[in-house]
Structure 1
Amino acid sequence: MGRTDPQRHDTATEEVVYLDHADGPLLARLHLPQGPGPFPLLAEVHGGAWCRGDRHDEERLNQALAQRGIAVAALDFRMPPRAGYPASLADIHFGLRWLKQQAARWHCLPRIGLMGLSSGAHQAVLAAMRPHDARYAALPLSGADAGVACVVACWPVIDPLGRYRYALQWQASDRPRPEAIDRVIPDHLKYWGSEDAMAEGSPLRALQRGEAAALPPLLALQGDQDLVHPRAHLEAFAAAYRQAGGALDLRWFEGEAEGFVNKKPEAPSTARAIDAIARFVHGQIGTAR
């Protein structure tokens, strides 16, 4: 059982294999509010510049949401060196379809949302915008589609090519820079392989190209002192998403840098961010609060 709070739900955690590849299984870690439900369900995609991390990374955030009556399924997915783009999108796409089919098992509503952090937020947005992409739907599972009711994007790498070039320019300068700037450059190349792939898989550039896209309601959160995820990229994406007809709520958190929800769990801004996510998800999917 998770932590008990008189104002919150008790929670339980379980792990299941959601996809079994020939080279090994992929697991989903379920954070489940206890009660009759039905509860909203979020698939969660961890960060790590597409190359690092696993389903345990956002444990604190996912537990906090479960205590607020939202079931969260944290997905593992293939990463380099096992596989690069678009393999992780195929895994996430399959995971969304699988979770819809399994939702009743955990007293959840069949309409699900998608949440990601950093590179995970990039993948969440891209998967949501392209639910019918044949490459992403390559793993067969009949009976459900990959469309989502909403997306939560926490400090997304919303333009991989733009962020890659931004990091290269900063590395080439004499200015002090966050350690992450040096680390993400090789990760971009490991996952994407080329700048052309980075451009093709950029949610911002897809909208700017006029690509047809699904546009579920989207909540984006980022610290206004985040130097790893350029503010201009997210503002441009928000404008393009709204221009295309999507509803997007963009929240800036004053004085906060990248990853503040994980790095500063007791900060008031973190509590506000978690509450904003919970209100958004309950409002978009439904509630058994």
Structure 2
Amino acid sequence: MDLKQMTYFITIVKYHSFSKAARALHISQPSLSNSIQNLERELGTPLLERTTRNLQLTEVGKLLYERANKMLQEMNILQEEIQDIIDGDRVEIIIGMIESANRWFARLMYEHKQTYPHNDFTLIDTLYSKTVLEALLRYEVHAVVTNQEIIDETIEAVPLYTEKFVVVLPNNHPLMLRENIDLQDLCNVPLILGMPSFQTCSQIMRAFEHIDLKPQIEFQIERFEMAKILVENGAGITILPENYVKDALPSTLSYRYINNDLLQRTVYFCYVKNRHFPSAILSFFLLIKNNFKTTRVQIS
């Protein structure tokens, strides 16, 4: 039994079809069938129960699929780690990001490039297609900057800072006359929030529900930048993380703090504990941690 046979077997199970699996593997169907038959002869037992309509795993087939799947995932991880070592100081650093961290993260990327000019950065949003934890464990990213608290024994989750949520509104809005704003003040104005499935939106809604209030939500959008543009065009007001709007608003907009202790969040830097990282990546991790070492309690 070798890795190629296990890959063929797992692909057949994935597609529930020899013909579809053969196309995905770019081999002929007879070659695929012969490989599985050889594997079954070697093990001395069938792995698949073939019918005219579908394929069913035998008990041995179920066991092999479970173990082989894990083994191939480990092999892929090993290949990723080896490639990182081979690349040395020319590694591609892949980070999952939340939008509100863009400004400080851009500054640290630039600083890192002064020491490691051959490193490349790829920034992706891990929240739309997959969970943050899944992206980390599948080695699709080296690390993530997230407002999700990940509690998992395999993950190192370093709290970077705590930030408040603020109301963003036009300079001529009546609420600008107040130094701080209550949630009650926001219930009779058009509100622009993120998508309901986003953690930021859920946290804001829980704050309203906690005091039995229902806001007037007129826009639900994916990006903070779009929320800011909508406010600028007079569509309403929005609630955004302070770190995103600080020193980043057009001259026509301002922000005010909200009198509510629930409207704050912690931002974490997360990575897999036992993953091997080359020195260039570890240096960048250290740069991020040290940047917030003295400001870990709160940004305000």
- The answer to which structure has the higher helix fraction is 2
Which gives a bigger RCO, structure 1 or 2 (Cα 8 Å, sep 6+)? 2
Q: Which has the larger radius of gyration?
A: 2
